[in-house]
Amino acid sequence: GALALDPSKPGTMYCSLDYDVGVFRSRDSGATWTRMKGIGAEVTTLAVHPGQPSVVYAGSDRGVFRSRGDRWVPLNSGLASPFVRALAIDPGGRALHAGTLGGAFDYEVSDAPCAPLDVACVVATDAEETGTAGDEAALESRNRSAESIWRAFPQPGSGRQ
Question: What letter represents residue 152's amino acid?
Answer: A
Out of 15-19, 28-32, 98-102, 130-134, least confident range: 130-134
- DSSP percent split of the chain into helix, strand, coil, nearest 5: 15, 35, 50
The tens digit of pLDDT for each residue in 114-126 reads 333 333 333 333 3
pLDDT of residue 64: 94
Is residue 58 within 8 A of residue 43, CB to CB? The reply is yes
pLDDT of residue 52: 87
Range 103-118 average pLDDT: 64
C-alpha distance across the termini of the chain, in Å:
34
Mean pLDDT of the chain: 75
Q: How far apart are alpha carbons 124 and 119 in whole angstroms? A: 9
127: left (phi over 0), alpha (psi -120 to 50) or beta: alpha
Pick from 96, 10, 92: nearest CA to 46:
96
Range 28-41 average pLDDT: 90
By the 10 Å C-beta count (0-12 exposed, 13-18 middle, 19+ buried), 102 is classed as middle
pLDDT of residue 155: 57
The tens digit of pLDDT for each residue in 57-79 reads 999 999 999 997 778 889 988 88
Pick from 49, 55, 58, 50: nearest CA to 2:
58
pLDDT of residue 122: 31
**Residue 157 — pLDDT band, cuts 50, 70, 90?**
low
Is residue 105 within 8 A of residue 150, CB to CB? The reply is yes
- Say if residue 40's pLDDT is above 60: yes
Over its C-alpha atoms, the chain yields an Rg (Å, rounded) of 15
How do 34-36 and 2-5 pair as beta strands? unpaired
By the 10 Å C-beta count (0-12 exposed, 13-18 middle, 19+ buried), 34 is classed as exposed
- pTM exceeding 0.85: no
- Say if residue 96's pLDDT is above 60: yes
pLDDT of residue 70: 74
